[in-house]
Structure 1
């Protein structure tokens, strides 16, 4: 199956594919963490009809059910398409100041401008973590931002 990715500047990414029944399906992954699933009509292939929308928490649940590891890969691909945008990984070490504390306590985005878009915990991927997501030693944060912003997140997490 071919999945087409379309960068939507200022919005996020749109993924499109044709399912086994011949329906054109689109998933809009907004930068806000929200997602919208649309179906394109056969009579007008440019007009998408919204099927449902998910907030970041709901999208996390669906992503875990459907295979969240692909989301982190796609965010990494996004950085190749946008000049000045990079992705990085920051490990939360056991016993660090943020081991056992919510992501929001780091104030990483406010302090660095970089965003934590996923938390990899063993085989599990928490896509679009909320500020309430509790970090654990061994977690790997997937960070999107400038190189300086990613380095800033690493400094915050490592103390």
Structure 2
């Protein structure tokens, strides 16, 4: 089950290995930025192929390593099997006018919901790990992390009043 890699000028890099059953799996990181995956079952002549964006390839990698991700519009749920089946939800919320000018501390986000704001995108600028004194503006995209029920509480307690 040795992994072989080969640089292909003008194409990209190919990684290939054979499974214990004799099937072949090949991954191409193309020079255009896409990732192609090919599988060839032992004894078959035709391979199957899938072309993915880098985001899709990372999602597949997470699935294969046990960090299951379930995406739902602006939300992602990740299950970490190595951490007693810990499930964490990350959701993007757009800040409404009624919360403009209020800080994370004013809104008592963690105390009321248990969720945490881990990033805010404002006019194409990302603010990572904003402090409690961070004041929201209408239309900010807030990235919030927590358990599923904490995310629901954030939506009902903070955004809808």
TM-score scaled to structure 1, two decimals?
0.47
* Higher relative helix content: 1
* Higher relative strand content: 2
Who wins on radius of gyration, i.e. which is larger? 2
TM-score scaled to structure 2, two decimals?
0.46
Q: Which has the higher contact order (CA 8 A, sep 6+)?
A: 1
